[in-house]
Structure 1
Amino acid sequence: MPLLPLLVVVGVLGLAIGSFLNVVIHRVPRDESLVHPGSHCPNCGHAVRSRHNVPVLGWLMLRGRCADCATPISARYPLVEAGTAALFVAVAARFGWSWALPGYLYLAAVAIALALIDLDVMRLPDKIVLPSYAVAAALLVPAALLAGDPAALLRGALAAALLYLLYRLLALWGMGGGDVKLAPLLGFYLGWLGWSAVAIGAFGGFLLGGLAGAALLLTRAAGRKSRVPFGPYMLAGAFLAVFAAAPIGDWYANLLTSAPY
């Protein structure tokens, strides 16, 4: 089937999901309801008009300010919406019309929410992480069976166990409990793709986290004892593997075979 209609539909879906993720990112860390009250200005309390709730366009129409009290509205809101749409389109381009696509779209949405919450409050909420195990199983178990690849489930389970053990060990040296809970979920998704994805996703998270930490130290934005959330780098490493495990694996294999002995 043509890919373009899928990309358009998924992009529009991503804008809508991104709008909802803004609510999740703001309310979940505060233990607030995702349903009540409806979208409203946190300064004056007025409800957001329906036409202003249109992803990205609503913020542009308002010129980044509340329609009632003119309080500035963070540019992060349209960026989350546009970013979710872009990531959804990228995931759809990667998986195409496949049974696995819904599972990885869910992972994309969860990744954006968890990364920004961790950056905001340095916490990966159980309310998002733990239910994601059930959702991942509900989406990827049928996908593997329908695709005729039940071995993907075994790889996913083994990879989840391996990453759990790795992060549980690292917890002895200060790794956060939220990171330990997130690791098996990412392991399941990466293992579903293959062992090269597991290796690149796990290593990529530590590499990206190390580079970011070094940059913060060099710019004096953080000190040696500063706490730095690691969840965003775990998630970034996972998506690096989702999109580039095959070319990175091929590059590394070529590097090994061409090395002089």
Structure 2
Amino acid sequence: MGDPSFLLHVYIFVLGLCVGSFLNVVIYRLPNNQSIVSPGSHCPDCGAPVRARDNIPLLSWLFLFGLCRDCGVVIPFRYFFVELVTGLLTLAVVTRFGVTLSALFYLLLAWALIAVTFIDLNFQIIPDELTVGAAALGLAVSFLTPLGIKGALLGLGVGGGIFFALAIIYPGGMGGGDIKLMAAIGAFTGWKLALLTIFTSSLLGAVVGIMSMAFYGKSRKDRIPFGPFLSAGALISILWGDTMIAAYLNMIL
């Protein structure tokens, strides 16, 4: 018999791949105001239904060389990448928290953040269905986790409140989608990790912004979607936030 721990990790990874396949549907359809339920998976160019054998995460894209079986149009690499990232991230969260309610709690946020990231990159919008929905879900299930409803409400208020204040102080500098996304993140992480998320995402955004200006000729007026940085900051906080905060406190105390 195989190692039970190894088999569990394989199952978790495959689960993540399947979720990633669904997230690809969300990423494509939600910004285009299409149902994420019906019709079933189909080629975005010719509309041909995707056969079951062509809908296997990762493998189908590789076996078809990233092409539609019916019309031969190129299927973007993003489909493969989203599935892979979701599988790896799902495995990372479960490895960090074990097979627990806390792991499921954070996975719900992580999966939403993946969709947010690619939608914001492609369309420069963050749909309310993801942000408001995630915030409501975070509050609804928080009582099942150590965070609790009070911690979730405080995190939502701190995360969303800081960004709302920034939007008032610097009009046009912070979009409504970013405010709602940060509120949703806070509902899942609590106020401490919400603050760490803001710091980490701002640092990442600054580094990428400077590199874009230095190497790609971007100017300060060129808009860079901030949703991906918030998502990255939140995921870093979820996986390593407690360790980062403890290390910081040891340095200053």
TM-score (normalised: structure 1)? 0.88
Cα pair 1:40 1:47 within 8 Å, conserved: yes
* 1:164 match: 160
Counterpart pick for 2:28 among 23, 26, 29: 26
Checking the alignment, whether the CA contact within 8 Å between 1:3 and 1:93 is kept in structure 2 is no
Match of 1:236 among 213, 232, 236: 232
C-alpha separation between the residues in 1 aligned to 2:9 and 2:141? 20
Gaps of 5+ in 1: none
- Aligned residue for 2:222? 226
CA gap 1:134/1:198 in 2 versus in 1, 3 angstroms: closer
User: What amino acid does structure 2 have at the position aligned with 1:170?
Assistant: L
Q: Check if 1:67 corresponds to 2:69.
A: yes
Instruction: Give the equivalent residue in structure 1 for 2:183.
Output: 184
CA distance in 1, matches of 2:100, 2:5: 11
Work out the CA distance in 2 between the residues paired with 1:22 and 1:167. Answer: 28
The normalised TM-score by structure 2 is 0.91
User: Residue 248 of structure 2: which of 235, 238, 252 is its match?
Assistant: 252
Deviation at 1:34, TM superposition (A): 1.3
User: What residue in structure 1 maps to residue 122 of structure 2?
Assistant: 120
Tell me the equivalent position of 1:50: 52
Residue 221 of structure 1: how far off its partner (Å): 5.0
Cα distance change, pair 243–64 in 1 and its aligned pair in 2 (3 A):
same
Contact 1:56 1:82 in 2 (8 A): yes
**Match in the other structure for 1:153:** 149
Q: 1:130 to 1:199 in 2, by over 3 A?
A: closer
Counterpart of 1:219 in 2: which secondary structure?
Answer: helix
1:170 positional shift: 1.3
1:178 deviation in Å?
Answer: 0.4
- 1:172-229, CA deviations, whole angstroms, 9 ceiling, x for partnerless residues? 21200001111111112221xx72x233222111111111111111123522111111
Structure 2 match to 1:203: 199
Q: What is the distance in 1 between the residues matched to 2:98 and 2:19? A: 19
CA distance in 1, matches of 2:223, 2:104: 34
TM-align CA RMSD: 1.7
Q: CA shift at 1:91, angstroms? A: 0.5
> Using the alignment, how far apart are the partners of 1:176 and 1:199 within structure 2?
18
| Alignment partners' CA distance in 1, 2:6 and 2:148 | 28
* One-letter amino acid matched to 1:29: P
1-side partners of 2:149 and 2:96: how far apart? 20
For residues 74 and 217 of structure 2, the distance between their equivalents in structure 1, rounded to whole angstroms, comes to: 26
- The one-letter code of the counterpart of 2:110 is A
The one-character-per-residue Cα deviations of 1:64-95 (angstroms, maximum 9, x if unpaired) are: 11112211111111111111000000000111
Secondary structure of residue in 2 paired with 1:35: coil
**Runs of 5+ in structure 2 lacking a partner?**
none
Q: 1:83-117: CA deviations, max 9, x gaps?
A: 10000000001110222121111111101000100
> Which amino acid in structure 1 is aligned with residue 237 of structure 2?
A
Alignment partner, residue 37 of structure 1: 39
Q: CA deviation at 1:42?
A: 2.2
Corresponding pairs, count: 247
Could you say which residue in structure 2 is the equivalent of 1:104?
106
Runs of 4+ aligned residues of structure 1 deviating over 3 Å after TM superposition are: 2-6
Aligned to 2:13: 11
In the alignment, the residues of structure 2 paired with residue 12 and residue 126 of structure 1 have an alpha-carbon distance, to the nearest angstrom, of: 29
Residue range with higher mean Cα deviation, 164-173 or 111-120? 164-173
